[in-house]
């Protein structure tokens, strides 16, 4: 019995130490800029040739399978399949068309020990479209959508590493910044992808606070532009409207596609 127990304990100890060792190895991972460059170029050409959706650097459609596949390539090239081997069935992927500010999000659910990496398709597809300017993600200039998605995913993978190691993660802390520099040569933790607000401003000359007009059921309405997402939120004064402001004035709310709005220029006094 003693021996058996000893053997079991030894096995447990071995397994435990092996896992800690590999986790420790994860934190000490470091690649030179030229190694990183080679790896990301290989991943770029692989995802472009494998995926049915990605027909060019500025693809028109992207699926969760593409995201999963991209992650698996990163796991193979950068982490020696650490995640697939140890966390394969606990990491999930999602795309969001509601994330309008954050380009990605990594979540850890403690109760069932699962992880989720979610990327914003809003920012993905609004960038490298009709708003033309230089776009940096994680401090690196991106030349097309695939490069931008890769930089965002790299940032989220660093969050995943921290979640796996410490359960919590913060990209504002020195450890994250150091690790993202060591593994992916990132020099920043922010993105400059094109937001709804920027596109509304540059393409349609519309900003929150503008007085705007639009046609609805053959009638023209004039109201205040209060929010911009995929559509604009316009508050129109209406005596029997369901919404009331702090002055007791009543409004109706309309969701209007941006191309259908016209800015109402203020008349000079």
Determine the size of the site formed for Zn ion (CB under 5 A).
1
39 versus 186: smaller Cβ distance to Zn ion: 186
Query: CA of 258: how far to CAs of 35, 102, 228, in Å?
Result: 44, 22, 9
171 versus 212: smaller Cβ distance to Zn ion: 171
Exposed e or buried b per residue across 222-249, where buried means at least 16 C-beta atoms within 10 angstroms of its C-beta: ebbbeebeeebbbbbeeeeeeeeeeeee
In the block, tokens 């940032």 appear at 155
State the Cα–Cα distance between residues 231 and 222, nearest whole angstrom: 16
In the block, tokens 């004064």 appear at 237
Directed axis angle between helix 145-166 and helix 174-184, to 10°?
130
The 3-state DSSP class for residue 255 equals strand
75 versus 154: smaller Cβ distance to Zn ion: 154
**Cβ of residue 156: shortest distance to Zn ion, in angstroms?**
7
**Cβ of residue 37: shortest distance to Zn ion, in angstroms?**
23
**Cβ of residue 74: shortest distance to Zn ion, in angstroms?**
16
State the Cα–Cα distance between residues 140 and 185, nearest whole angstrom: 9
Q: What DSSP state is assigned to residue 97?
A: S
96 versus 226: smaller Cβ distance to Zn ion: 96
Q: Nearest-CB residue to Zn ion?
A: 171
**Cβ of residue 223: shortest distance to Zn ion, in angstroms?**
36
Task: Count other Cβ atoms within 10 Å, centred on residue 89.
Answer: 7
**Cβ of residue 174: shortest distance to Zn ion, in angstroms?**
14
Per-residue x/- track, 161-180, Zn ion (CB under 5 A):
----------x---------
Contacts of 38 (CB under 8 A, 6+ apart): none
19 versus 173: smaller Cβ distance to Zn ion: 173
Q: Which two tokens stand for residue 125?
A: 């597809």
State the Cα–Cα distance between residues 136 and 141, nearest whole angstrom: 4
Task: Count other Cβ atoms within 10 Å, centred on residue 97.
Answer: 12
160 versus 234: smaller Cβ distance to Zn ion: 160
**Cβ of residue 189: shortest distance to Zn ion, in angstroms?**
6
**Cβ of residue 105: shortest distance to Zn ion, in angstroms?**
8
148 versus 171: smaller Cβ distance to Zn ion: 171
Is residue 152 close enough to count as binding Zn ion by CB under 5 A? no
Residues 18 to 77: which contact Zn ion by CB under 5 A?
Answer: none
Interface residues with Zn ion (CB under 5 A)?
171
């Amino acid at each position: 019995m003693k021996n058996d127990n000893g053997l079991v304990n030894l096995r447990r100890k071995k397994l435990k130490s092996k896992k800690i060792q590999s986790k420790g190895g994860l934190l000490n991972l470091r690649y030179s800029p030229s190694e990183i460059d080679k790896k990301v170029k290989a991943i770029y050409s692989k995802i472009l040739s494998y995926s049915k959706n990605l027909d060019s650097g500025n693809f028109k459609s992207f699926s969760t399978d593409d995201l999963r596949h991209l992650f698996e390539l990163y796991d193979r090239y950068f982490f020696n399949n650490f995640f697939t081997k140890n966390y394969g069935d606990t990491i999930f992927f999602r795309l969001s068309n509601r994330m309008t500010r954050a380009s990605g999000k990594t979540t850890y659910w403690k109760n069932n020990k699962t992880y989720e990496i979610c990327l914003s398709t809003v920012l993905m597809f609004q960038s490298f479209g009709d708003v033309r300017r230089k776009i940096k993600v994680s401090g690196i200039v991106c030349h097309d959508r695939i490069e931008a998605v890769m930089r965002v995913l790299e940032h989220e993978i660093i969050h995943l590493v921290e979640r796996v190691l410490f359960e919590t993660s913060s990209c504002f802390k020195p450890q994250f910044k150091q690790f993202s520099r060591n593994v992916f040569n990132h020099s920043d933790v922010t993105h400059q992808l094109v937001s709804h607000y920027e596109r509304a401003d540059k393409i349609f000359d519309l900003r929150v606070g503008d007085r705007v007009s639009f046609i609805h059921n053959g009638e023209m309405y004039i109201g205040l532009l209060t929010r911009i997402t995929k559509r604009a939120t316009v508050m129109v004064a209406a005596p029997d409207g369901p919404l009331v402001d702090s002055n007791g004035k009543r409004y109706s709310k309309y969701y209007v596609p941006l191309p259908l709005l016209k800015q109402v220029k203020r008349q000079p006094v």
